[in-house]
DNA sequence: CCGCATCCGTTTCGATACTG
DNA sequence: CAGTATCGAAACGGATGCGG
């Protein structure tokens, strides 16, 4: 059943793969890196994974202590999945894997691109920028709102909105990717139904330009090298 | 056939997993991290992988440019597989995964333990030691000979023997693991058929003690944190 | 022996439909 | 919304065979 086959190998790499080596497992972890997600959020972010596989992986990751299930306070009677501390410790491994995978061309057609992977990319760009912009931004992607806290000491991305953002943006992950690849398209995107902006748009544009300078120059989504 | 299913996801983590995410792929890479290996070496190192799977993975890794096949010079009419530069660049990701997997208890029974994973562990211990010993050691594991070059600037492990080692050791990966966990067993191991030593045994013992101090203290094989 | 191909039983995956 | 049930397709794992 949920019993995954073991490599039966004492090497720590093999032991790690016994836990997170199955198909979709690491992408589920990726989706939880920026905060809790509901089952349906994961389903939208990973459309290639069928519901039974998603359930299997979540149960297994829960069993191994990487993922925890939480009930939200009364108003929202929904459950969310979130990473435990142990699950969060996979961050360096996922970043290293992403850095290695960055040069690989994206698959043909219109590949999927989740809000989380897009935001991870944006955060990575800002963190490696020599002179990052500062500000608070609320970005709505796929019906979910995220807050970007950009400062000189680093950049953070959190789920939920902020009381007083410098600027707001509503769009989809793919459009955001093109905007980081070419920030000059911001005005035309806002003029189209693909995006909508509010607040200090000039500040928003500086955010996109900073991201563009460190890694977004190419069309393909990339994670910056460390 | 060899056509692996794609995640169809533009995220670089997903793109990396499209290449190395299939079962056994990353463990094949691990086995090649210290140098070329023959098909039969890989087969011995990964006894759980059947020959057709091994062939499939090598073909696929070759197709993606991570692995290259080489013919050895005439005396040995055998072929070897080795990592390309691109394949070698997975080292940080594998180290991060190994560091994460280190706390996971080894599977029950007598789990496999390849010479390469043992030597990767030893090298990692030496590299994180604050005051590493220096010397050249030839270690024979599972009928293959490796040279350990330990110096203040770091430690290296290479396939093949050395002209003038300070000490030599012949044993199996599991015994070497126990010797790093408890170097005081060196003498009794040499007295048994499980190990055989030559040259400066005191120097060899200092090597084991250094490894023991940084990560070998527990019974389980571990990779040091960075 | 080495490298690989083929056959076959079992497990896992993926798509759809369905339920609390 | 959050899963469960079902079923065909693919991948995996083990054994065997075959040309160097």
pLDDT band at A75 (very low <50, low <70, confident <90, very high): low
**pLDDT at residue B225 above 70?**
no
CATH number listed for the domain at residues A115-219: 3.30.1050.10
Report d(CA A212, CA A45) in Å as an integer: 24
The protein residue nearest C6 (Cα–C1') is B52
B93 contacts A100? CB cut-off 8 A: yes
A9 contacts B113? CB cut-off 8 A: yes
* Distance, CA of A53 to C1' of D6, in Å: 14
Q: What local confidence, expressed as pLDDT, does residue A162 receive? A: 86
Q: Where in chain A is the domain with CATH 1.10.10.10?
A: 12-89
Q: Model confidence over B132-174: pLDDT tens digits?
A: 999 999 999 998 999 999 998 889 999 998 889 999 999 999 9
Q: Where in chain B is the domain with CATH 3.30.1050.10?
A: 115-219
- Cβ < 7 Å from strand D, B residues 44-83: 48-53, 56
Between the CA atoms of A48, B93, B224 and B139, what dihedral angle is there, to the nearest 10 degrees? 120
CATH number listed for the domain at residues A12-89: 1.10.10.10
Please compute the mean of the pLDDT values over residues A65-70 and round it to a whole number: 96
B107 contacts A10? CB cut-off 8 A: yes
Please compute the mean of the pLDDT values over residues A49-78 and round it to a whole number: 90
**Are A47 and A112 a contacting pair, CB within 8 Å?**
yes
Which residues are CB-neighbours of A165 under 8 A, at least 6 positions away? A136, A137, A138, A147, A199
Decide: helix, strand or coil at residue B217: coil
The protein residue nearest D5 (Cα–C1') is A52
Please compute the mean of the pLDDT values over residues A90-117 and round it to a whole number: 94
* Distance, CA of B162 to C1' of D14, in Å: 40
**pLDDT at residue B3 above 70?**
no
Which residues are CB-neighbours of B212 under 8 A, at least 6 positions away? B125, B180, B181, B182, B183
Please compute the mean of the pLDDT values over residues A95-119 and round it to a whole number: 93
List the single residue in A with minimal CA-CA distance to B108: A8
Q: Model confidence over B46-74: pLDDT tens digits?
A: 999 999 999 999 999 999 999 999 887 66
Q: What local confidence, expressed as pLDDT, does residue A2 receive? A: 45
**Are B94 and B33 a contacting pair, CB within 8 Å?**
yes
Which residues are CB-neighbours of B53 under 8 A, at least 6 positions away? B23, B24
Q: What local confidence, expressed as pLDDT, does residue B141 receive? A: 95
A98 contacts B8? CB cut-off 8 A: no
B101 contacts A96? CB cut-off 8 A: no
Please compute the mean of the pLDDT values over residues B89-118 and round it to a whole number: 94
Cβ A23 to strand C below 7 Å: yes
Cβ B78 to strand C below 7 Å: yes
Covered bases, chain C (protein CB within 7 Å): 1-7, 11-17
Average pLDDT along chain B: 92
Q: What local confidence, expressed as pLDDT, does residue B226 receive? A: 57
**pLDDT at residue B2 above 50?**
no
A70 beta partners: A80
Which of A180-184, A221-225, B107-111 has the highest average model confidence (pLDDT)? Answer: A180-184
CB nearest to A111's CB, from B8, B99, B117: B8
Please compute the mean of the pLDDT values over residues A190-207 and round it to a whole number: 97
Covered bases, chain D (protein CB within 7 Å): 1-6, 10-17
Q: What local confidence, expressed as pLDDT, does residue B1 receive? A: 37
Q: What local confidence, expressed as pLDDT, does residue A223 receive? A: 87
Q: What local confidence, expressed as pLDDT, does residue B140 receive? A: 96
Q: Which residue has the higher pLDDT, B32 or A71?
A: B32
Average pLDDT along chain A: 92
Q: What local confidence, expressed as pLDDT, does residue B5 receive? A: 87
Report d(CA B49, CA B39) in Å as an integer: 12
* Distance, CA of A52 to C1' of C17, in Å: 13
B100 contacts A48? CB cut-off 8 A: no
Cβ A164 to strand D below 7 Å: no
Residue spans of beta strands (DSSP E) within chain B = 67-71, 79-83, 135-141, 144-151, 154-159, 167-171, 196-199
Q: Model confidence over B189-221: pLDDT tens digits?
A: 999 999 999 999 999 999 999 999 987 766 668
What is the pTM for the complete model shown? 0.94
């Amino acid at each position: 059943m949920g019993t995954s086959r073991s490599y039966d190998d004492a090497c720590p790499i093999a032991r790690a793969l016994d836990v997170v080596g199955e198909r979709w497992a690491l992408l589920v972890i990726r989706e939880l890196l920026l905060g809790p997600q509901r089952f349906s959020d994961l389903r939208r972010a990973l459309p290639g994974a069928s519901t039974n596989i998603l359930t299997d992986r979540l149960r297994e990751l829960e069993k191994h202590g990487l993922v925890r299930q939480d009930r939200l306070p009364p108003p929202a009677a929904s459950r969310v999945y979130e990473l435990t501390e142990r699950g969060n410790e996979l961050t360096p491994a996922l970043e290293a894997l992403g850095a290695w995978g960055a040069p690989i061309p994206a698959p043909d057609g219109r590949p999927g691109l989740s809000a989380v992977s897009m935001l991870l990319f944006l955060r990575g760009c800002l963190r490696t920028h020599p002179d990052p912009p500062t500000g608070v931004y609320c970005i709505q992607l796929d019906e979910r709102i995220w807050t970007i806290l950009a400062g000189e000491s680093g950049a953070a991305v959190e789920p939920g909105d902020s009381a007083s953002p410098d600027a707001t943006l509503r769009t989809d992950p793919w459009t955001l990717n093109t905007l980081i690849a070419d920030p000059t398209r911001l005005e035309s995107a806002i003029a189209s139904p693909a995006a909508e902006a509010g607040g200090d748009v000039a500040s928003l544009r500086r955010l996109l330009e900073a991201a563009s300078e460190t890694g977004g120059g190419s069309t393909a989504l990339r994670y910056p090298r460390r």
